[in-house]
Structure 1
Amino acid sequence: MSLWLAGIGVSRGIAIGRVHRVHGADLDIPEYAIEPEELDAEVERFEAALAEARSQLEQIRSQIPASAPAEISAFIDTHLLMMQDTALSDTVANLIREHRCNAEWALKLQQDHLTDVFDQMDDAYLKTRRDDVEHVTARIQRVLLKQERRIDARADRSRHPPVIVADDLTPADIIILHQQGVAAFVTEHGGPLSHSAILARSLRIPAIVGVHDARRMLVDDETLVVDGEAGHILADPAEDALSFYRHRQKRDQRYRRMLGKLKTEPAISADGRKVRLLANVELPDDSKDAAEVGAEGIGLYRTEFLYMNREEMPGEEEQLAAYRRVLRSVDGPVTIRTLDIGADKTLGHGRDHSASSNPALGLRAIRLCLKETDMFRVQLRALLRASAEGDVRIMLPMISNIQELRQTRHLINELMTELRSQGLAFNPALPVGAMIEVPAAALAAPLLARHADFFSLGTNDLIQYTLAMDRVDDEINYLYDPLHPAVLRLIKFTIDAGADAGIPVSMCGEMASDRRYTRLLLGLGLTEFSMHPANILEVKRLVMQSDVSALQRHVEAVLGATDALEYRELLDALDEPAAA
């Protein structure tokens, strides 16, 4: 008899496969005594497992897809840094000797201690860091216990691809299982804004989270249909239901082929409005993916990869070489964001500024760069020199006041004088823009526009700061609402401020890449979108089908609605012509 279950669809697509339940988080940790003469060997066994776990994570990080957001790499980097922390390595070794116990039990004792410490913290942001402790220790435990998450090699994956059913999965788990040919993911916990959900979307793997008791109700090897858009799963489906979903799969494949034909078409709306579609990239070679889908340039080039996981700071020549590579591989402007370290992204070479009571609100991004000016000067020099060889734009993250723009401008002017005296070329009219990701910046947009050459809306942070919630906290992710009236008004206010000042406004957050919001953003006046390369063609199709003038009139009615029901009905009406 068929079984229908519902959860939260976090990655679109239809998958049909066989259930493969994973119980990796429910590890049975043994406890046994170690003889005194064997303690050194037991410590060495733990250190070897720690080294192996680090090696696994480093390999996983190198295999993160180009379309994945920077948060995924930062997630892995955070775990790597935790594995290097003496609070884990040295303390566990000491516990082995002190209690004369096996490495697994000593690691569990330290995990329990660390999670208790986080649980007792008043700060909600830091409380969520206990999950990182559990993920890291679970990976080391699996190495010690020789219980890696792997698919049965005997399974016929071509005819019966596995659908992973688990309590929860980390991004590292997803990358490993993706390499093993899984068809989809179903988890009992998690949310649409978790790192794992973001990665599943980047990999285009259908995924559903929040399916409570899924492992208890599903049976290994039974046929399972996963509808990642609706958030539904169907176990042991009848033949007519199976035929329906197979038809859906073929329709989706035809849709993807149709989108491929739009690569060379201009992004012009039905009423003749030109829209620029740019790509977000993280590594120099990622720009090839952008070129393959017809991106008109790079709207967000993240530079954190140059600084992560290394002992020495990247030098000017190394950075210049990276910027040159991306300039040579893409036509159009390349918007390079200066170092955005802080919150869940940390440096690995002795400069850890994450000790703030709430790193998301502390010393990060432009604040850190203006404090560590020696580091910032190196990056700005490399960017200035790169501007002599292509259409470079500098984008400053986390701007919250005019002084930060003025300080950066002053520093750039100093460096221009320095480069000129050294006979090194640069573009003296190099555009410098501000990311609008905090409400203060959006509300001060008319003032900031006097000192910025362009704006870029970072909606991921703008939404979480406006709504006072951590977007990757599963406990409150239901509060993350891109359609909240306050969020839309801040976006509209920023776009209008840019138009009044005659400077371009783009959007590089997740809203720009989500087809559900394309028509809304066009109606708000956005004419420049930057997104994962994988989403460009789908957004282009919606742009080409849209009457922007009509959308703008409709959105005016949305923003003017004073009744909550009317507000939502007007928003829903925007989606109707966008159905695929």
Structure 2
Amino acid sequence: MREIAGSPRVLLRRLRELMAEALEPQARLDRIVREIASNMVAEVCSLYVLRADSVLELYATEGLNPGSVHLAQLRLGQGLVGTIAASARPLNLQDAQKHPAFAYLPETGEEIYHSFLGVPVLRAGRTLGVLVVQNKTMRNYGDDEVEALETTAMVIAEMIATGDLRRLTRPGMELDLSRPVTIEGVPFNEGVGLGHVVLHEPRIVVTNLFNEDADLELRKLENALGSLRLSIDDMLSRREIASEGEHRAVLEAYRMFAHDRGWVRRLEEAVHNGLTAEAAVEKVQSDMRARMMHMTDPYLRERMNDFDDLAYRLLRQLMGGGADALATSLPKDAIIVSRAMGAAELLDYPRDKVRGLVLEDAAATSHVVIVARAMGIPVAGQAKGAVSMAENGDAAIVDGDEGKVHLRPQPDVEAAYAEKVRFRARRQELYRELRERPSLSKDGVRVDLMMNAGLAVDLPQLADSGAAGIGLFRSELQFMVAATFPRAEAQEALYRQVLEAADGKPVTFRTIDIGGDKVLPYFRGGEKEENPALGWRAIRLTLDRPGLLRTQVRALLKAAGGGELRLMLPMVTEIGEITKARHLIDREVNHLARFGHLLPTRLKLGAMLEVPSLLFQLDELMRVVDFVSVGSNDLFQFLTATDRGNGMLSGRFDPISAPFLRALKHVLDAGARAGTPVTLCGELAGRPISAMALIGIGFRSISMSAAAIGPVKAMLVELPVRELERAIAPVLADGGASRDARALLRDFATAHDIPL
């Protein structure tokens, strides 16, 4: 049977032959537009390519004035071509000149043409240009012709992406694919990282575009879809996937999309039109992404990520790639770019090669962000579009202080950030010189600067930072990066490793603090909570699930055998919770003693003061525990009724204002009356100016991130503590609430040449 003209299969076969010929880029483009015009019986076929300056330049034409190639141009949004590029949608017009967006370019000689069909040239949902056919007669192009032109545009997109057309650009001009881009995100972890992009899920490059046997490709597609559906069903059936919750809801959405007949039908049509199964997946997904990117409905835009993930999984099924394909050979300065990722996946990357992390969808409290903070990696989150705008190997800058991501930055931007990094490095050198210096103020007051930790990767920083010990070991991080509950043996091994790394320095282990924003996907909790921060979490949860606490306590007791064990209970609300926890701990001590295990020589039990109700039980609290540690993050948010994750309120209330400093002073005074040590851990301790306030009201032990110890110590060694105590006393006195404590501290630091 003779294949009809206009058949996508005929056109693709001719394009395949053209791509195989040894031709210069311009000659290849000229032949492509000529072939399209012939196949579609069009009098004009033109290709416009998007430049970095948002101008669409005519790169090839059949039918228009050949002298206008590389001269005719339209701005993004200007004319029919600019409208298609801006909207990423085709235009099919019987009389183009009557369309309100029509713009006449006299140099092209196109005024005699009426019918118009234009499609965007898309790659990963990103517009790289526009492909157009035109005729003198007024006619409507059929669906098969639209499909043929879209398929051809996909081939041209790969030519642009592989760099073939860059040789045709005029001096000073760049294609949009190489355009510098700045993405405004949210700062998740401070610091600056310069390096080169590594896509966490590397974009699969489809090199085999044209099929030889449509039936064979359809069978491949059917088999891959079957395997994809089975893998999703398998994930849903695993015991570690809770029967309810967000984790399961995402997988249920995946299953729904994988069975969606509309999606599958479009894939099959693309194969019938001459594409391989994998090229069909790439084309359909690129079309869908381009359309969904322009939707205003936030729910539908979020679904775009689900479709993306599903398409990548299907491509891996077709091309034999592993489900967790990470870059095996990283550059020495990797900037990891991902839509979202698990905490364990980040740990798979060698820390010494990772300079920054860019996330499109994670929140500041996501597990991966918590781990990145522990590893000291700058993080920019909510960086929408980063994955589609970036290519592996692109130069990139992550500004974790501002939340910005610079892709393919201009030389002056790169130079400015390089100087910022060098300045930070010089300051770090200064901090390293302070490492061995005693932690004494200018007037001889000792203040222990402790570090917060939670994973084995944190431990080398204990010596590097010069910390006096670990003031807060977040034991829940081991649970958060695991696929299932860590066995008792694994917990014991980690705790033993921590104590050995501390080499006699004090370590305070916080018992497992899950719930709230620290959700374990393999742990089925209670009912869905309206306000999880105030709900079933921390000590409340472990007292209701005593097996969790007993297993952890037993592991801690065995790991600390022959030494001191410091245990701290989180989120304590009333004294009775401490009594119940002590009873469970005593049971484990007696159990191990009965079986002859080596026990700690000393066991100290403390409580975190995070819930305001404890402020009215202070004297009793100090009598029943060996130490108290103020959790400044939660205590401040609960005292001020402020959701610390709410950007609209993040700067509204000052944690070093008089009311909060007074609350902290009450805790210190109660500790002094009872002879019970009081420490503080949290973000408040990690900033020089707020650490200065804490020292001024009487704290002599504070715990912070390892990276913060250097700046705080540099402040401390220049600080006259006794003089500061006198200066800050009026803020704490009655009538001092109107005083600006932060301004007072800044003035004091300026007057005494204290670095902040």
Q: With structure 1 as the length reference, what TM-score do the two structures score?
A: 0.70
Matches within 5 A, 1:86-485: 87-90=249-252, 92-93=254-255, 96-97=258-259, 99=261, 101-102=263-264, 139-140=309-310, 142-144=312-314, 204=376, 247-284=419-456, 286-308=458-480, 309-311=482-484, 314-315=487-488, 317-330=489-502, 331-353=504-526, 355-427=528-600, 429-474=602-647, 476-479=649-652, 481-485=654-658
Distance 1:442 1:137, change over 3 A: farther
Of 523, 531, 539, 2:712 maps to: 539
Matches within 5 A, 1:515-526: 515-526=688-699
What residue number does 1:488 align with?
661
What residue number does 2:86 align with?
none
Distance 1:49 1:380, change over 3 A: closer
- How far 1:382 moved relative to its partner? 2.9
Distance 1:43 1:500, change over 3 A: farther
Contact kept in structure 2, 1:463 and 1:481, CA below 8 Å: no
- In the aligned structure 2, how far is the partner of 1:238 from the partner of 1:271? 47
- In the aligned structure 1, how far is the partner of 2:301 from the partner of 2:663? 32
Deviation sequence 1:288-332 (CA, Å, 0-9, x none): 3213333222212222245444445623x4433332222222121
Identify which range, 374-383 or 8-17, moves more after superposition.
8-17
Aligned residue for 1:545, secondary structure, equals: coil
1:44 aligns with 2:227: yes
- How far 1:405 moved relative to its partner? 0.9
Q: Which amino acid aligns with 1:271?
A: D
- How far 1:471 moved relative to its partner? 2.4
- In the aligned structure 2, how far is the partner of 1:389 from the partner of 1:96? 57
Distance 1:138 1:570, change over 3 A: farther
Aligned residue for 2:679, secondary structure, equals: strand
- How far 1:199 moved relative to its partner? 6.3
Q: Which amino acid aligns with 1:277?
A: L
- How far 1:453 moved relative to its partner? 0.5
Identify which range, 10-19 or 379-388, moves more after superposition.
10-19
Q: Which amino acid aligns with 1:403?
A: G
- How far 1:268 moved relative to its partner? 0.9
Aligned residue for 2:586, secondary structure, equals: helix
1:579 aligns with 2:755: yes
Aligned residue for 1:279, secondary structure, equals: strand
Distance 1:554 1:200, change over 3 A: farther
Distance 1:139 1:545, change over 3 A: farther
Distance 1:175 1:468, change over 3 A: farther
Name which structure has the greater RCO, CA cutoff 8 Å, separation 6+. 1
Q: Which amino acid aligns with 1:551?
A: L
Aligned residue for 2:450, secondary structure, equals: strand
Contact kept in structure 1, 2:658 and 2:739, CA below 8 Å: no
- In the aligned structure 2, how far is the partner of 1:552 from the partner of 1:323? 38
Distance 1:356 1:335, change over 3 A: same
Deviation sequence 1:222-276 (CA, Å, 0-9, x none): 999887657899998897x987765554333222112112222221111111111
Distance 1:138 1:453, change over 3 A: farther
Size of the aligned set, in residue pairs, is 524
- How far 1:450 moved relative to its partner? 1.1
- In the aligned structure 2, how far is the partner of 1:243 from the partner of 1:37? 50
Deviation sequence 1:437-480 (CA, Å, 0-9, x none): 12222443332111110011222222222232332344544446
Contact kept in structure 2, 1:304 and 1:340, CA below 8 Å: yes
- How far 1:504 moved relative to its partner? 1.4
Q: Which amino acid aligns with 1:42?
A: L
Larger Rg computed on CA atoms: 2
What residue number does 1:61 align with?
none
Aligned residue for 1:388, secondary structure, equals: coil
1:569 aligns with 2:735: no
Q: Which amino acid aligns with 1:573?
A: D
- How far 1:343 moved relative to its partner? 1.0
Deviation sequence 1:490-535 (CA, Å, 0-9, x none): 3222222222221112222122223342211111211112222233
Contact kept in structure 2, 1:162 and 1:182, CA below 8 Å: yes
RMSD of equivalent CA atoms: 5.4
Contact kept in structure 2, 1:510 and 1:531, CA below 8 Å: yes
Aligned residue for 1:363, secondary structure, equals: coil
Aligned residue for 2:623, secondary structure, equals: coil
Identity, in percent, stands at 30
Contact kept in structure 2, 1:307 and 1:314, CA below 8 Å: no
Q: Which amino acid aligns with 2:525?
A: D
Distance 1:503 1:196, change over 3 A: same
1:555 aligns with 2:728: yes
Contact kept in structure 2, 1:194 and 1:474, CA below 8 Å: no
- In the aligned structure 1, how far is the partner of 2:395 from the partner of 2:478? 44
- In the aligned structure 1, how far is the partner of 2:348 from the partner of 2:596? 49
- In the aligned structure 2, how far is the partner of 1:9 from the partner of 1:461? 20
- How far 1:333 moved relative to its partner? 1.6
- In the aligned structure 2, how far is the partner of 1:295 from the partner of 1:187? 31
- How far 1:487 moved relative to its partner? 3.0
Unaligned runs of 5+ in 2: 1-52, 54-179, 203-216, 268-280, 293-297
Distance 1:380 1:177, change over 3 A: closer
- In the aligned structure 1, how far is the partner of 2:337 from the partner of 2:492? 45
Aligned residue for 1:342, secondary structure, equals: coil
Q: Which amino acid aligns with 2:255?
A: A
- In the aligned structure 2, how far is the partner of 1:135 from the partner of 1:472? 23
- How far 1:482 moved relative to its partner? 2.8
- How far 1:49 moved relative to its partner? 7.8
Distance 1:332 1:408, change over 3 A: same
Aligned residue for 2:227, secondary structure, equals: helix
Deviation sequence 1:32-51 (CA, Å, 0-9, x none): xx999976752422555899
- In the aligned structure 1, how far is the partner of 2:423 from the partner of 2:677? 38
Contact kept in structure 2, 1:224 and 1:237, CA below 8 Å: no
Contact kept in structure 1, 2:459 and 2:498, CA below 8 Å: yes
Distance 1:7 1:357, change over 3 A: closer
Contact kept in structure 1, 2:611 and 2:635, CA below 8 Å: yes
Aligned residue for 1:449, secondary structure, equals: helix
- In the aligned structure 1, how far is the partner of 2:722 from the partner of 2:305? 49
Deviation sequence 1:105-129 (CA, Å, 0-9, x none): 99x9xxx9xxxxx99xxxxxxxxxx
What residue number does 2:63 align with?
none
